[in-house]
């Protein structure tokens, strides 16, 4: 597999090297440093089918408008909603979620109703972002690890002014082709950082995002310029905290001392099977303390706004540890008959209960309505976000003058544009070259690339000397040496894969790699599948294929893995390159032969009612008849 990994590395990096179509077509004034800010994100990735085209191109004219120059944090904190307006804003979030789930008759209203207060405080008072450029490099990152509650995030993106989630998008929740699929998908919705839903992935992604920030800050910040400086916030639920992947990633976050990672544990005592008492009675906060985290408990997450604010302030003051804020909430808060029960977890409330909830929370408005004062309050994020970015741009211009070489390197990571001629650094092999183990050749390539690809960073799940993945010119990324590039993941394959997804999606110039024995892809398939689906571009260095392992025996000998892994990664390729649709990969070809026709699936699915998907994918009575008649 090592040979494959090298090929994959080359291909992954090559795909990022040239200017992307969008970038090439950009007007001249957007090149240079403007390119850095406006194209930092999906713009430099491979093109997607029309329905998936990201709305990444921020309005440059808007950014040329006069901007508010006030220092950002103080501005945000000084303008916090209070009293009635605050309650109204929080209830707006709740009802946008209730209404969208009700209209779709599908989804999870309970979490948004319970987490609306912390969501409001994060997006309205705490986080720094520019809604008109979701890919601004120095933005705070937010991850909804409990991805089923995605209407919380869509409501917040909508209020904050993101163009990706307009009113019509909320009304299209979970429908074919919408920007608001059933779980957060970064490739669908600008403003969504990573793809979550399978529980535990998101918190591990958040660890990767926070690692990326700590690494870049250590490499590029100067005593007179903190050019990299953002937080990573995450909301995770009981389900995430039960998953082993979360423990793996959080153990590493504690080990690395990721002080700018702040996770909110939505402690609502309800999972799909009922009260968490039936399966989850551990002391979560004590566990996180054992993992090296700072922990805080907000006992009333339903309307203890000041407690939430104070907890975030305290979390920021602890700079050498990540913080878990356990926020006790009521799932489905406000629903008189369904709050605090599993029935509000994953189903629409039903029109009667929606009405009862409107009465209970004093919400006289029609569905999807955003009161004018709430709208007006949130509208400031557009100019303030532009100001935040403009401030940072000015800061970067100063930085570039003083530290031109570092600025060039940082730009490469921010934009994903590789230095010219990078591929020349690769070792050359000829038929006359001495034979060698593929994993040794892999290491030669990784080491050659590390010199010219500034975002290449990674490591192994405790098998570095077997996988041959050490970058010899660098030390270990550790708590006190975060500028280094060898990451020691320990024996934590699943967490490793998901952390690498987070690193990859932090900035387009990151090229994370991770390694283990090929058979242990069994432990991290969940993360690998999301790498493929979300185009995270992680390089998997998987060594020790097949019975060639010898003595370690059948538990260590991968037999079925190459085909299975190819299938997973090919799904995304198939979705993008129809020329491949007839290939290496599915079950019926053997029987139907080259001239046969199969009606089936050869790509990932999508979010929509089932009937609609069958129709869009051509799995219908009509298509079967047509295929039969065509012979």
User: Which positions are annotated as active-site residues?
Assistant: 493
Q: What's the 3-state SS for 79-147?
A: CCCCHHHHHHHHHHHHHHHHHHHHHHCCCCCHHHHHHHHHHHHHHHHHCCCCCCCCCCCCCCEEEECCH
Least distance between a copy of itself and beta carbon 466 (Å): 7
Q: What is the dihedral sign for C-alpha 393, 399, 401, 407?
A: negative
Q: Taking a C-beta distance cutoff of 8 angstroms, is the pair 61, 134 a contact?
A: no
Residue 270 in marked binding region: yes
Residue 351: CA count within 13 A, CB half-sphere: 2
505 contacts a copy of itself (rule: CB under 8 A): no
182 contacts a copy of itself (rule: CB under 8 A): yes
Structure tokens at 216: 């870049």
**For residue 491, what is the DSSP state?**
S
Residue 10 in marked binding region: no
Stretch that binds a copy of itself, among 9-17, 72-80, 196-204, 416-424 (CB under 8 A): 196-204
Binder of a copy of itself out of 163, 229, 289, 314 (CB under 8 A):
289
Stretch that binds a copy of itself, among 33-41, 359-367, 384-392, 518-526 (CB under 8 A): 518-526
Pick from 175, 176, 184, 159: nearest CA to 105: 175
Residue with tokens 């690193």: 503
To the nearest 10°, report the CA torsion of 153, 158, 163, 166.
110
Tell me which residues in 569-588 interact with a copy of itself (CB under 8 A). 571, 584, 586-587
The bridge status of strand 323-328 relative to strand 261-267 is parallel
Binder of a copy of itself out of 24, 28, 50, 278 (CB under 8 A):
278
Least distance between a copy of itself and beta carbon 247 (Å): 4
Residue 618 in marked binding region: no
Q: Of 239 and 537, which has the nearer Cβ to a copy of itself? A: 239
Q: Of 82 and 465, which has the nearer Cβ to a copy of itself? A: 465
Tell me which residues in 438-477 interact with a copy of itself (CB under 8 A). 460, 462-466, 476
Q: Of 54 and 198, which has the nearer Cβ to a copy of itself? A: 198
To the nearest 10°, report the CA torsion of 436, 439, 442, 448.
-80
Binder of a copy of itself out of 169, 185, 193, 353 (CB under 8 A):
185
The bridge status of strand 511-517 relative to strand 539-543 is parallel
Binder of a copy of itself out of 491, 580, 598, 627 (CB under 8 A):
491
Q: Of 429 and 604, which has the nearer Cβ to a copy of itself? A: 604
Q: Of 331 and 606, which has the nearer Cβ to a copy of itself? A: 606
Tell me which residues in 229-258 interact with a copy of itself (CB under 8 A). 238-240, 242-248, 251-252, 254-255
Cβ contacts of 370 within 8 Å, gap of 6 or more: 92, 96, 158, 159
Residue with tokens 């309650």: 87
Distance CA 140, CA 353 (A): 36
559 contacts a copy of itself (rule: CB under 8 A): yes
Q: Of 285 and 337, which has the nearer Cβ to a copy of itself? A: 285
Pick from 295, 293, 310, 308: nearest CA to 258: 293
The bridge status of strand 261-267 relative to strand 232-237 is parallel
The bridge status of strand 294-298 relative to strand 323-328 is parallel
Site size for a copy of itself (CB under 8 A) = 107
Residue 278 in marked binding region: no
Tell me which residues in 585-624 interact with a copy of itself (CB under 8 A). 586-587, 589-590, 601, 603-614, 617
Least distance between a copy of itself and beta carbon 372 (Å): 32
Binder of a copy of itself out of 149, 190, 197, 332 (CB under 8 A):
197
Q: Of 98 and 453, which has the nearer Cβ to a copy of itself? A: 98
Distance CA 294, CA 317 (A): 11
Residue 225 in marked binding region: no
494 contacts a copy of itself (rule: CB under 8 A): yes
104 contacts a copy of itself (rule: CB under 8 A): yes
Which residues sit in the known binding site for thiamine diphosphate?
148, 197-199, 239, 268, 345, 520
Binding site residues for Mg(2+), as ranges? Answer: 238, 268, 270
């Amino acid at each position: 597999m090592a040979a494959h990994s090298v090929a994959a590395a080359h291909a992954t990096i090559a795909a990022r090297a040239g200017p992307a179509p969008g970038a090439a077509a950009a007007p001249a004034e957007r090149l240079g440093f403007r390119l850095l800010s406006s194209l930092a994100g999906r713009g430099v990735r491979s093109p997607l089918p029309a329905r998936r085209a990201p709305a990444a191109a921020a309005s440059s004219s808007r950014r040329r408008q006069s901007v508010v120059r006030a220092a950002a944090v103080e501005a945000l904190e000084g303008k916090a909603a209070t009293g009635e307006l605050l309650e109204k804003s929080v209830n707006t979030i709740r009802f946008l979620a209730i209404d969208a789930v009700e209209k779709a008759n599908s989804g999870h209203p309970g979490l948004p109703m319970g987490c609306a207060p912390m969501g409001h405080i994060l997006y309205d008072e705490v986080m720094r972002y520019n809604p008109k450029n979701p890919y601004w490099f120095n933005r705070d990152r937010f991850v909804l690890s409990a991805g089923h509650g995605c209407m919380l995030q869509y409501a917040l993106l909508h209020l904050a002014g993101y163009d990706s989630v307009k009113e019509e998008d909320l009304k299209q929740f979970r429908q074919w082709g919408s920007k608001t699929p059933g779980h957060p998908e970064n490739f669908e919705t600008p403003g969504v950082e990573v793809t979550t839903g399978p529980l535990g992935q998101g918190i591990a992604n958040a660890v990767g995002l926070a690692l990326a920030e700590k690494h870049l800050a250590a490499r590029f910040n100067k005593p007179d310029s903190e050019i990299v400086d953002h937080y990573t916030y995450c909301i995770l639920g009981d389900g995430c905290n039960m998953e082993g992947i979360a423990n793996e990633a959080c153990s590493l976050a504690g080990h690395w001392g990721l002080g700018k990672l702040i996770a909110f544990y939505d402690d609502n005592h309800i999972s799909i099977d009922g009260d968490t008492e039936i399966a989850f009675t551990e002391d979560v906060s004590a566990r996180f303390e054992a993992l090296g985290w700072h922990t805080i408990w907000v006992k009333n997450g339903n309307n203890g706004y000041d407690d939430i604010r104070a907890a975030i302030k305290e979390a920021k003051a602890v700079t050498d540890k990540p913080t878990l804020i356990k926020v006790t909430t009521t799932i489905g808060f406000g629903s008189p008959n369904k709050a605090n029960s599993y029935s509000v977890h994953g189903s629409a409330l039903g029109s009667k209960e929606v009405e009862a909830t409107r009465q209970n929370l004093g919400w006289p408005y029609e569905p999807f309505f955003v009161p004018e004062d709430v709208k007006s309050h949130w509208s400031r994020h557009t100019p303030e976000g532009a100001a935040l970015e403009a401030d940072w741009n000015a800061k970067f211009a100063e930085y570039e003058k003083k530290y031109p070489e570092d600025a060039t390197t940082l730009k490469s990571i921010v934009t994903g544009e590789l230095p010219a001629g990078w591929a020349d650094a690769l070792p050359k092999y000829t038929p006359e070259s001495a034979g060698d183990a593929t994993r040794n050749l892999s290491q030669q390539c990784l080491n050659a690339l590390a010199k010219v690809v500034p975002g290449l960073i990674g490591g192994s799940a405790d098998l570095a000397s077997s996988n041959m993945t050490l970058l010899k010119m660098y030390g270990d990324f550790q708590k006190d040496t975060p500028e280094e590039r060898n990451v020691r993941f320990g024996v934590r394959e699943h967490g490793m894969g998901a952390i690498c997804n987070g690193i990859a999606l932090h900035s387009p110039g990151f090229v994370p790699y991770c390694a283990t024995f090929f058979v242990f892809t069994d432990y991290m398939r969940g993360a690998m599948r999301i790498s493929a689906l979300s185009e995270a571009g992680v390089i998997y260095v998987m060594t020790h294929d097949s019975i060639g392992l010898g003595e370690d025996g059948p538990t260590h000998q991968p037999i079925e893995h190459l085909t299975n892994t190819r299938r997973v990664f090919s799904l995304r390729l198939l979705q993008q390159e129809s020329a491949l649709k007839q290939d290496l990969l599915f079950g019926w070809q053997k029987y139907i032969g080259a001239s046969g026709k199969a009606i089936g699936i050869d790509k990932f699915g999508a979010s929509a009612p089932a009937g609609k998907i069958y129709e869009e994918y051509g799995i219908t009575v009509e298509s079967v008849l047509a295929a039969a008649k065509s012979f």
